Structure 1
Amino acid sequence: MKFSESLKKNSDFQQVYRRGTSNANKYLVMYVKENRLERNRIGISVSKKVGNSVVRHHLTRLVREAYRLKEDCFCKGLDVVVICRVSSKDCTQKQIADALYHLGRLHHIMEDKE
């Protein structure tokens, strides 16, 4: 079941950056802000510094898939922006997923349902 949708507007991203809280690890930075909706909205940002469009799109897909697999473990009603760092360029799916779940636990927005 799909609980979330994508953040698309620049103004939505800016609001999460200004009013949200952030945590980071080696590969990702995560900003989280409450949105008072019944679902999450996730935005993924990958800078041109990371690589060409193929690399950036690949990282976006890895983050989106990692989120999708554990979507039901994340709390509802949040705007989440995930920023991929340059060091994430050569990461595997497992490394990206572990980094995403680590940040989810740091923000206390993820409960373990395993």
Structure 2
Amino acid sequence: MQTEYRLKRRNDFRKVFRTGSSVANRQFVVYRAKRSEVGTIRVGISVSRKVGNAVTRNRIKRLVKEVVRDWAPDLPKNTDIVIIARNPAASMDYKEVQASLRHVFRKAGMWSKKENSIL
């Protein structure tokens, strides 16, 4: 995922948690908050140590980044998103991660109806 799409600073994460709304399923929790500054969507990924060791956590982060990288142009601008992985995400492959994130993003209203038909 390119640098312009990353959410890195602790204060940015806190702002999303404080001002945003959340949607969840068994594998992921997605927090979404609108930004006042004009720009692209920014995404932060959080995977707790409870999910697994470093290899497992980094694998989940790589899969999520790849899925979101493909969707970034279609997601709403001026938005910050934090994706939190839960335990069941540790045993998922790419297609399962993609399907689960698609489900959560649809629940969060991240796509218009036209874009929903494509995905």
Structure 1's unaligned 5+ residue stretches are none
Unaligned residue ranges in structure 2 (runs of 5+) = none
Is 2:85 the partner of 1:76?
no
2:34 aligned residue: 34
Deviations 1:46-72 (A, max 9, x none): 000001111000000000101111222
Per-residue Cα deviation, 1:56-103 (whole angstroms, up to 9, x for no partner): 000000001011112222111100000000111100111111111111
8 Å Cα contact 2:40-2:78 kept in structure 1:
yes
- Give secondary structure in 2 for the equivalent of 1:102: helix
Structure with a larger share of its residues in strand: 1
Residues 1:20 and 2:25 aligned together: no
Q: Percent identity?
A: 34
State the alpha-carbon separation in 2 of the partners of residues 29 and 107 from structure 1.
Answer: 10
Partner residue, 2:47? 46
TM-score, normalised on structure 2? 0.88
Superposed CA RMSD: 1.6
Paired AA for residue 15 in structure 2 = Q
The count of corresponding residues between Structure 1 and Structure 2 is: 113
Q: Distance in 2 between matches of 1:25 and 1:54?
A: 23
Relative to structure 1, the CA distance from residue 84 to residue 16 in structure 2 (aligned partners, 3 Å threshold; closer, same or farther) is same
